[in-house]
Amino acid sequence: MNVLLVFAHPEPRSLNGALRDVAVQALEAEGHEVRVSDLYAGGWKSEVDRADFTQLAPDVRLHVAAASGEAFAAGALTADVREEHDKLLWADALILQFPLWWYTMPAILKGWVDRVYAYGFAYGVGEHSDHHWGDRFGEGTLAGKRAMLVVTTGGWEEHYAARGINGPIDDLLFPINHGILYYPGYTVLPPFVAYRVDRLDAAGFTRVADRLRERMRTLATTAPIPYRRQNGGDYLIPSLQLRPGLGGPTAPGFALHLAGPAAGD
């Protein structure tokens, strides 16, 4: 397979830098071809602004989705964004690697999403009708490709468990896994997460690296997160609400952390 790894850490000598090297070596050992978008090293521009849409006349009000769609259709997006599109279309699998900062990705990686996910490329794709609400959540430009997160955090695994104060890690990553990867069509694999990385000794690093190698070795075969397809019949259109009868009693969500009568205690 062709694999694109998007790397978002400012220090190449960091644990993240070491894990990136582990991942690349493990993928290449499997015969995959790997490219890396190192956002810090490449000086990635994080902010969506007028400079992204050179076709926009100076006196015209910037409407981001409209300007993005026009620039994409005209092939007029900036070169850095077009390069990322080429890499995404080339890759059979995408890996986003980042340290969890304030419970989500660093700004520079969010800026990669905000700028690379152009209208017409990652959203605004496909027909809207009574039974099809655009090609998204299971369909789209990147359908048929795999994606996964590689995340490090200083916090403890217990703090990210079902009843942990931070909220369950799968819920915290849902806006990324479902809203950013599944949305334009990716088949999303369970994330790789390394906890308490600030205190990692040599033996601890070896364990984390071994776990990561195993995930890289099984990149093509790991069972994905079974998200429901938007246009597959499970959701009503246009309300996009899950059909009555689907999704029974499930694990408690973030409401666990609310005190008082509504919380059931």
- Residues 147-206 touching a copy of itself, rule: CB under 8 A, are 154, 156, 158-159, 161, 163-168, 170-172, 174-175, 178-180, 183, 198
**Six-digit token string for 248:** 């029974």
Residue 41 in the binding site for a copy of itself (CB under 8 A): no
Q: How far apart are CA 215 and CA 27, in angstroms?
A: 10
Of residues 62 through 81, those in contact with a copy of itself by CB under 8 A are 62-65
Instruction: Return the number of the residue (134 or 213) whose C-beta is nearest a copy of itself.
Output: 134
Q: By C-beta, is 99 or 145 nearer to a copy of itself?
A: 99
Q: Quote the tokens at residue 133.
A: 């609400």
Contacts of 238 (CB under 8 A, 6+ apart): 133
Output 210 or 241, the one with its CB closest to a copy of itself. 241
Residue closer to a copy of itself (CB basis): 75 or 245: 245
Three-class SS of residue 101? strand
Residue 34 or residue 166: which is nearer to a copy of itself going by CB? Answer: 166
Determine phi and psi for 252, rounding to 5 degrees. -65, 145
Distance CA 204, CA 90 (A): 35
Angle between the N-to-C axes of helices 107-116 and 79-90, in degrees from 0 to 180, rounded to the nearest 10:
90
Closest by alpha carbon to 192, among 152, 154, 157, 162?
Answer: 152
* Comparison of 10 and 144: residue with beta carbon closer to a copy of itself: 10
Omega of the bond prior to 191 within 30 degrees of 0, cis? Answer: no
Q: Measured from the CB of residue 1, what is the shortest distance to a copy of itself in angstroms? A: 25
Of 205-224, which residues contact a copy of itself (CB under 8 A)? none
Tell which one of 21, 28, 49, 86 touches a copy of itself (CB under 8 A): 49
Site for a copy of itself in 80-139 (CB under 8 A): 99, 101-108, 110-111, 113-114, 117, 137
From first CA to last CA, the distance across the chain in angstroms is 51
Q: Spell out, one character per residue from 7 to 26, where the chain touches a copy of itself: x when CB under 8 A holds, - when not.
A: ---xx-xx------------
